[in-house]
Amino acid sequence: MIRSPVIVIGCPRSGTTLLFNILSEAPALWSIGYESKAIIERYHAPAVKGWDSGALDADDLTAESRAFMLHEFQRQAAPGTFWRRVNRFRSGLRDNSFYRSIRRRGRSTAAGSSVSSALPQAGLDTIRRAVALRNRVAPPSGDICLVEKTPENCLRLPFFLALFPDARIIYLTRDGRSNISSLMEGWLEPHTFPGYDVPATLSIPGYSRPRWAFSLIPGWRDLTKSPLEEVCAWQWIRCNEAVLEHREQTAGRVPYLTLRYEDLIADPRSALQDVATFLAVDFTANFGRYADKLPEINIVSAPDAQKWRRKHGVEIERIQPLIEPTMARLGYGT
């Protein structure tokens, strides 16, 4: 049975995939190894609510969807020792030109979204079967601590707390200027971050594809003709404000650990020690291998705190007044 699961949240491109991959390899933790859109959106795809957004509330959870999701999380979960081997295999593939070509053709669009992973869909299906077989042969001997990370979870916290009332939350923040710049890069990498086939024409200047990338935020329809930097700014604002509101409303009831992406990059040992303390697991056994060197995950270009100035300086300056209130709430200066 799943007990005290860990929900990793943060705006897309804030470093949540990096943190999730580290957590997913911890021997004390279990995960399904990739984002859970296919599980969550089997019953709760945006289309079900008229494409209003990807947000979900506690009332959206039904007895049927609860049973399905709990079963699938349990069936597909494996311990960190398993995912460490899988990630080593993934790492070896990333530089392979043949793999990169099939990756572009291997995405699923089930439930109106892409399956996020470093592997093509065929590879994901193979891993799912391997995990299911593993769990039949050697089922967990007791309760498991599941780690879950899907960017839309910022907009689904009440839903997840209804599914997992004893959940613990790790919230990763990132300077809005850098985060938005990274989102803009990601929008233009459709095979890496595919998104949603929305039922609306996107006339975003400089963006020619029909798919909405990253989180489908409330009010997205009002942004279909907006500049890309404004779209990304609102994604960053909506995701972070949803978390901040939830954190305030549940203070003292829901365990929260807030980490800065910048701190994780600058001093991984200290940041991961905070994570180990929060989760009550041994630091050396679970995170020691990444104390001095972090893995490279979903990198469009190398991390650099001032990269936004070079890549999108004019655009970010334009939307800076828009993001300043949320930046201030998060403790970032402008």
The pLDDT assigned to 308 comes to 85
The tokens of 283 are what?
């630091």
What is the spatial distance between Cα 169 and Cα 7, in angstroms, rounded to a whole number?
A: 5
What does the block give as tokens for 146?
A: 């599941």
Q: What's the domain count of the chain?
A: 1
Nearest CA to 9 out of 269, 179, 331, 258 is that of 258
pLDDT, residue 93, reads 62
Length of the chain: 334
Q: Which of 264, 303, 294 is nearest to 181 (CA)?
A: 303
Residue linked to tokens 């209130």 = 325
- The span from the CA of 38 to the CA of 112, in Å, is 9
Per-residue pLDDT of the chain in tens (334 residues, 90 and over written 9): 999 999 999 999 999 999 999 999 999 999 998 889 999 999 999 999 999 999 999 999 999 999 999 999 998 999 999 898 888 876 666 566 655 554 555 444 443 333 334 444 556 677 777 787 777 767 777 899 999 998 899 999 999 999 999 999 999 999 999 999 999 999 988 667 778 999 999 999 989 989 999 999 999 999 999 999 999 999 999 999 999 999 999 999 999 999 999 999 999 999 999 999 999 999 999 999 999 888 876 554 556 667 888 888 899 999 999 999 999 999 998 6
Sign of the dihedral through C-alpha 279, 282, 286, 291? positive
Residues 6+ apart with CB under 8 A from 71: none
| CATH number for the domain that contains residue 261 | 3.40.50
CB atoms within 10 A of CB 199: 11
How big, in percent rounded to 5, are the helix, strand and coil portions of the chain? 55, 10, 40
Residue type, 100: R
Strand, helix or coil at 163? helix
Between the alpha carbon of residue 172 and those of residues 9, 106, 186, the distances in Å are 6, 29, 18
Geometric angle at alpha carbon 212, from 300 and 184, rounded to 5°: 35
Question: Does residue 233 lie in a domain region?
Answer: yes
Range of the domain at 232: 6-330
Helix crossing, 63-76 with 121-137: angle to 10°? 80
Put the strands of the sheet holding 146-149 in their side by side order: 78-79, 30-31, 146-149, 6-9, 168-173, 256-260
Domain-located, residue 1: no
Q: Please report the pLDDT score of residue 171 as a whole number.
A: 99
